[in-house]
Every structure is written in C-alpha cells, then in structure tokens.
Amino acid sequence: MTADRSLRAVAAERGLHVGAMIGPEPLRTEPRHRRTLAEEFSAVTPGSALKMGPLRPSRDTYDFADADAIVDFGLEHDMYVRGHALVWHRQLPEWFQPWDYTDDQLREFLRDHVHTVAGRYYGRIDAWDVVNEAVADDGSLRETVWYDALGADYVADAFRWASEVSDADLYYNDYGIEALTEKADAVYDLLADLLDRGVPVDGVGLQLHALGERPDPESIRENVARFRDLGLDVQITEMDVAFARDDVPDDPLAVQADYYREVTAVCLEAGCDALVVAGVSDANSWLRYFADFPERYTGDPLLFDERYRPKPAYDAVVEALAED
C-alpha cells in the first residue's frame, strides 16, 4: 500500500522528480506550506522570483533575497532546483524601457543579465529555463523585445551565454507544446535546428496548464518520445488542471484526478524525468489572482486543497507512480 508513503518517496523509486513552483510568501509565512513542500516534493521552482522584474528593482541593483530563500530551501531539503526564467518577454522591470537602448545595447544588456543571474547560481540550480515562450501560437518566433532587437538568433545566443557561466541543464520552456500541436512542431524544428548547430540545449519543458482543455495523453506520449529521440530531456514544468467556469463536469475533482493520473503514467512511460505542478496548495494557485483567470477558471487546480489536505489528484499521482 502507498498511503503511508509520501509522493516524494514513491516518485524517487521511479526516478522522477516531483516538484512545485512556488512564491516566497507562503514559504516564509505558512508552516504547512514549508512542511508539505519538504515532505511531499523533491523539486522546487521559484514561480517568479528569478524573473527579471522581481530580480531587478532598479537599473543598477539586483535583489536576490526571494530567489535565494527558495533555492536555499530546496538545497536544504535535498531537492532538485529548477531556475525559471532567464529570457522572457513578460514580468520585465517597470523601469526597463527598450527605447532607452540601441539594439546593440539591448544585446549587451541581455547577455549581462544571463551571465549575472545564471552565474550567481552556479552549482546551486540543476536546470534553467533559459528561454521561455519564444514561439507564438502559429509557430512563428514571437515578436518580443528580444526578437525585435537581437533577431531570431537571440534564442541560440541565450543558450550559449547561459552555458558560459552555468553547470545546469539548459531548457527551452513553453505552453501549448505538450501534445502534437502545430506549435509543438515548430518548437521541435527550432530545437532540432539548435542542436544541429551545436547550441547547448539539454531539455524541453512542457508547462501543461490544462485550463479548460486537457491535451490528449496519447498525443503527449508521442510528443515526449520525439523530443527524447532528438536527445533532449523532457520535463513537465508548471502543471495545473482547472475547468472553464461555464463547463465544469459533475465531479470535477475526479476528472482532475484522472487527468493527473494519466499524465503521470504517460510522463513516466515516455521518459520525462520531472513532473512539476504550479503550486503546492490551491490557495497558492495563480488562477486565484492572475488577470481574468479567477472569473474564467475554477480555482482549485493542484494536488493539495487550501488547507493542505491531499486531494483525489494527489492519490491519483501516487497510484500512477506506485503501479509497475
């Protein structure tokens, strides 16, 4: 029986890191959060603390306190630490205005950022999301501040810069690429090309925000397999499962649990080495505060309820891990 064994213990036997993406606040203020994270999870990702905005309160300063608190907690509890994210087009600092810089200056600025942040965590972070969400839904490269100034090769450059200062595995991370979608095809082509050119990419992160839609597990299996055939590691990096408020099934917790079970089984069979969910408890979910998400989606997408009690989804993941 598995009831007396933690998620973390069961996952360890299958060689899978099971993680949570977290913010600094509940870690500081909520003992149940600390306890559940340490006992039940073997991996941790700072949700926002390592993004450029939170890290850089002013032009000339960095504030690593929140990121350090999370990374140090992970190291103290023998966890696998995912860094997220070095290059992204969102959560940039408020003071950062691209028109204050020439294109060459923006390139230097981004290189310095990657060197400073990835370098500072040398030896302490196991995997970095080096580039996050660079591909648009139609498969083209997204027109971001970085694309506009540095050109398409900023993706390759970011991986090279990270590899100059970091011993972590280097990941490309995105949403909508979990199953065999057009966007996943585009990311596949992008990563295949980078590998061909000798760019140091080690893995691909599939966010898996199952909000209203749940990507087909069989399709996920095939997609994970093809990335693995390229020589990449594959991780699920931000999983949560919620329903559109106008389309909630009769037994949402059971449907949610079934989906977590299927994804865990597929992830194991296809050879993912980490399954990270987007928070410890439902109380911490971004669906409860981000943009119009509270109106659009049910707000209980995770494995523990707001009082940190394990949900059916928790049991389902443990069962999937315990099966041979």
Which residue, 48 or 264, is less far from ligand XIL as judged by CB?
48
Least distance to ligand XIL from the beta carbon of 293, Å? 10
As given in the structure block, the two tokens for residue 120 are 């500072």
Among 48, 144, 223, 256, binds ligand XIL (CB under 6 A): 48
Residue 282 DSSP SS3: helix
Residue 235 in the binding site for ligand XIL (CB under 6 A) = no
Least Å from the CB of residue 280 to ligand XIL? 13
Q: How far is the CB of 306 from ligand XIL (least distance, A)?
A: 17
Q: Contact, 282 vs 275, CB < 8 A? A: no
- Which element (helix H / strand E) includes 182? helix 182-196
Measure the CA–CA gap between 314 and 273, rounded to whole angstroms: 18
Cβ distance to ligand XIL smaller for residue 286 or 314: 286
Residue 93 CB burial class (10 angstroms; 0-12, 13-18, ≥19): middle
Nearest approach in angstroms of CB 17 to ligand XIL is 18
CB of 93 to ligand XIL, least distance (A): 14
Nearer to ligand XIL, 186 or 206 (CB): 206
Selected from 47, 176, 203, 215, the binder of ligand XIL by CB under 6 A is 47
Tokens standing for residue 155: 């993706």
Site for ligand XIL in 254-293 (CB under 6 A): 286, 290
Residue 251: CB atoms within 10 Å: 11
Can you tell me which residue has the tokens 């891990």? Answer: 321
Q: Is residue 282 within 8 Å of residue 306, measured between CB atoms?
A: yes
Q: Which CB sits closer to ligand XIL, 51 or 311?
A: 51
Phi then psi for residue 136, to 5 deg, are: -80, 170
CA pair distance 322, 304, nearest whole angstrom: 19
Decide if residue 207 touches ligand XIL (CB under 6 A).
yes
User: Within a 13 Å sphere around the CA of 89, how many CA atoms are in the beta-carbon half?
Assistant: 17
Active site residues: 133, 238
- Number of residues in the chain: 324
Residues of this chain, 104-163, that bind ligand XIL according to CB under 6 A: 132
Considering the complex, state which of residue 47 and residue 312 has its C-beta at the smaller distance from ligand XIL.
47
In angstroms, what is the minimal distance from the CB of 174 to ligand XIL? 8
Please, what is the minimum distance in Å from the beta carbon of residue 160 to ligand XIL?
A: 22
Is the Cβ of residue 36 or residue 132 nearer to ligand XIL in the bound state? Answer: 132
Count the site residues for ligand XIL by CB under 6 A. Answer: 7
Nearest-angstrom CA–CA distance, 80 and 71: 9
Q: What does the DSSP assignment read for 235-257? A: EEEEEEEE-BTTS--SSHHHHHH
Q: Mapping DSSP to helix (H, G, I), strand (E, B) and coil, where does residue 203 land?
A: strand
Q: What angle do CA 88, 270, 312 make, to 5 degrees?
A: 80
Asked if residue 298 binds ligand XIL (CB under 6 A), the reply is no
- Looking at the Cβ atoms of 126 and 240, the one nearer to ligand XIL is 240
Q: Tokens for 150?
A: 């540095």
Residue nearest to ligand XIL (CB): 286
User: Interface residues with ligand XIL (CB under 6 A)?
Assistant: 47-48, 132, 207, 238, 286, 290
